[in-house]
Amino acid sequence: MNFKKIGVIGGGTMGQGIAEMLAAKGLDVMLVEKTPERLDYSYEMIETSLDKQLEKWAITQAEKKLILSRIQKVTHFAELSSCDMVIETITEDLEAKKSVFNQLDQVCPSHIILASNTSTLSLTELASSTMYPERVIGMHFIYPVAKVDLVEIVRGLKTSDATFEDTKSFVDEIVEKKGVMIYESPGFVTSRLICLLINEAMHVLQEGVASPQDIDDAMRIGYQFQYGPLEMADRFGLDSVQAALERMFREYGELKYRPSTILKKMVRAGHLGMKSGEGFFKYDKDGDRA
């Protein structure tokens, strides 16, 4: 399959990263958000990300303009009918995602691959809201998208071999990341393992064993993590981490997946991490540690 134009639904942290990365690879991107205001904000955040790279001499001014020129702001799903693939990156809410896939199914021809960036939800259940479940697949990018060269390609019960092969080719050859095939299971591989690490780090903090900074430094420096587990949670969104843990707790029924008390308290307080400006650490409007 010849991939030239990709739709990205959801302009949050992951949506921004995926849209920017695809545009940098030379693909045309149609970025979708609920409102023009949220769409403008997402576009501005992509521009901010490019400005940071510009300051570090990682890209030129011409490259920045070229990347931005490839990203088209869209507010109506009907405009995605010309895409070769659509990637959904909205919040981890099953019913909301099913609604998106149902709408996409009505406007996108049956040959268009419909992918979800979900980190924990059932692709089989998402596909059940469509008439063509064989074209639905999971493409779980890892944060930060531009720097992590891995994508979990998740097969639902009815995902066809053709859909998988085309998606694998897209990830390996066009996006130039390593695609690993995952059979559907709650949390897949990466979320299942990293959420346990994050949850255990919160237990360590709660027990007073070490400060947030020292916990993160121990793992970041000692095991060559880009971010420590607590900052990682901040960047994922503490509400998203809690939702993922609760979902795996329900599915597996094992206590190790039960969210820590401190995580629940912070979510109740609205301290959601980078997106709210405060979690275990504080962040400025550009998403940098304050």
Residue 236 above 80 pLDDT?
yes
113 forms beta bridges with 85
The predicted-structure confidence for 73-102, as pLDDT tens digits, reads as follows 998 999 999 999 999 999 888 999 999 999
Residue 51 above 90 pLDDT?
yes
Task: State the pLDDT at residue 22.
Answer: 98
Task: State the pLDDT at residue 143.
Answer: 85
Q: Is the Cα dihedral 97, 98, 102, 103 positive or negative?
A: negative
* Residue, of 120 and 262, whose pLDDT is higher: 262
The predicted-structure confidence for 165-216, as pLDDT tens digits, reads as follows 999 999 999 999 999 999 999 999 999 999 999 999 999 999 999 999 999 9
Q: Where are the beta strands (DSSP E) in the chain?
A: 5-9, 28-32, 71-74, 85-88, 113-116, 136-141, 150-155, 178-183
In the chain, pLDDT over 90 holds for what percent of residues?
Answer: 92
Domains of the chain plus CATH, in order, are 5-183 (3.40.50.720), 190-268 (1.10.1040.50)
Confidence of residue 144 (pLDDT cuts 50, 70, 90): confident
CA dihedral 175, 179, 183, 186 (to 10 degrees): -70
Task: State the pLDDT at residue 1.
Answer: 80
Q: What distance in Å separates the CA atoms of residue 65 and residue 279, rounded to the nearest whole number?
A: 34
Specify the pTM: 0.90
Whether 45 and 18 have beta carbons less than 8 Å apart is answered as no
